[in-house]
Structure 1
Amino acid sequence: MAAASPDYNLQDLVNRDINELIDSAVVEDVLSRDPFIPVPGVLNFRDLGVYGAPHIRRNLVYRSGGLSNLGDQSKAVLAKDLGITLILNLRSETETRMHPEPDIDGIEVVKIPSTEAPQLIKLDDFMGEDGRKGYLKIYAEIMDIHRPSIRRALEHLRDGKGGLLFHCFAGKDRTGVLAAVIMGLAGCSDDQIANDYAMTRVGIEPHREALLGMLMQWNKSWTMETPGMHEFSQIKGANIKAVLEIVQGKYGGMEGYVKKDLGFSDEDIQKIIANLNG
Structure 2
Amino acid sequence: MKTRSTPIALALALLAPMLGTGAVAHADAPAAATATRSGNAQPLADDAQRVMALQGAWNVRSFAGLQGSRGPIPANAFIRTADLGRLTAADRDALAAAGVTLDIDLRTADEQTQSPDLLASDDRFDYQRISLMGTEKMDLPKMMKSFPDSLGEAYVQWLGHSQPQFKQVFQRIAAEKDGTVLFHCTAGKDRTGIIAGLLLNLAGVADDDIVHNYAISAHYLEGQPKDSAMNAQMMELIRQNPEIGRKMAGMAGTAPENMEMFLSALQQQYGGAEGYLKSIGISDAEIQQLKARLGQAG
Report TM bin, short chain: 0.7 to 0.9
1:125 aligns to what?
148
2:247 aligns to what?
228
- CA separation of 1:52 and 1:165: change in aligned 2, threshold 3 A: farther
Query: RMSD over aligned Cα, in angstroms?
Result: 3.5
1:162 to 151, 156, 179: 179
- Give the alignment's TM-score, normalised by structure 2: 0.72
Q: Per-residue CA shift, 1:185-224, capped at 9, x if unaligned? A: 111111111111111111111237769x949538334559
| Structure number with higher relative contact order (C-alpha < 8 Å, ≥ 6 residues apart) | 2
The alpha carbon displacement at 1:91 in A equals 0.9
Match of 1:240, SS? helix
Structure 2 portions without partners, runs of 5+ = 1-27
Distance 1:225 1:136 in 2: 17
1:33 aligns to what?
48
2:99 aligns to what?
83
Larger helix percent: 1
Answering whether residue 283 of structure 2 is matched by residue 268 of structure 1, we say no
Match of 1:140, SS? helix
The alpha carbon displacement at 1:183 in A equals 0.7
- The residue identity in structure 1 corresponding to 2:30 is Y
2:33 aligns to what?
11
Distance 2:225 2:37 in 1: 15
Match of 1:233, SS? coil
1:45 aligns to what?
60
Greater alpha carbon shift after TM alignment, 251-260 vs 157-166:
157-166
Output aligned runs, 1:204-243, within 5 Å: 204-207=221-224, 214=231, 216-217=234-235, 219-220=237-238, 221=240, 223=242, 226-243=245-262
The alpha carbon displacement at 1:75 in A equals 0.7
- The residue identity in structure 2 corresponding to 1:107 is F
The alpha carbon displacement at 1:124 in A equals 5.0
Structure 1 portions without partners, runs of 5+ = 1-5
1:245 to 230, 253, 264: 264
Greater alpha carbon shift after TM alignment, 239-248 vs 147-156:
147-156
Greater alpha carbon shift after TM alignment, 196-205 vs 43-52:
43-52
Distance 2:38 2:219 in 1: 9
The alpha carbon displacement at 1:63 in A equals 0.4
Greater alpha carbon shift after TM alignment, 51-60 vs 112-121:
112-121
Count residues with an aligned counterpart.
Answer: 256
Distance 2:33 2:158 in 1: 29
Q: Share of identical aligned residues, percent? A: 24
- Give the alignment's TM-score, normalised by structure 1: 0.77
User: Do the aligned residues in 1 keep the contact of 2:38 with 2:256 (CA within 8 Å)?
Assistant: no
2:113 aligns to what?
97
Q: Per-residue CA shift, 1:149-183, capped at 9, x if unaligned? A: 55334543454221011000010100001001111
